[in-house]
Amino acid sequence: MNLALFDLDYTLLSCDSDYEWAQFLIDRGVVDRESYTAKNDRFYAQYRAGTLDIREFLDFQLHPLSCHPRARLDAWHREFMAARILPAIGAPARALVRRHLDGGDLCALVTATNSFVTGPICLELGIAHLIATIPAQEDGRFTGGVRGTPNFREGKVARVEAWLESMGFWWDSFARTWFYSDSSNDLPLLSRVSDPVAVDPDEALLAHAREAGWTVLNIHP
């Protein structure tokens, strides 16, 4: 059996779902446009530059979830999926996932974006396992905090390994292990698998991939 792990934003999607969710809330008037847009753009630039403070970002990103009942959030998410996510899932991304699923590989979506935003996206892609940052809840309502280790940089390695151990597996349980990602933030997990694949990579990841002889895949227009 083989293992296939997929990043989400700018890997299987042609957008960043974290950023787009914030923009969706701005466009609906749920949050203040001027201040939230400035912060969203600043955090996005830091992420692309590899300088993001994940705890500071999560305080910003998860706070709106704590301000609204779950039913309202779920209704907004359905609109978000239709308007911003489904158009960002291209046929090549679906085919990539399908190739691994049809090959009988154990597949998981491994993303820093929180599980409220990414859970329905994972289902849409047909991937059974989601390893994401977990927004904390109390009595079914989001608190604005994080449960456990954020699924970011080295945290992705720790979270994947905990997931594998929970099923009685380890890296050497698999003949081959893939991780597909666009971001240099994912170098820790890319360096852990047997088959790292840089998908439409950022400049830093592209340079690293070329030097290391990793596969570079372009699937987005």
Residues labelled catalytic: 7, 9
Contacts 24+ apart (CB under 8 A), 152-157: 152/52, 152/54, 152/112, 152/185, 153/54, 153/185, 153/186, 153/188, 154/188, 155/54, 155/112, 156/110, 156/112, 156/131, 156/186, 156/188, 156/189, 157/188, 157/189, 157/192
As a whole number of angstroms, the distance between CA 209 and CA 184 comes to 10
In terms of Cα–Cα distance, which of 113, 115, 167 is closest to 3?
167
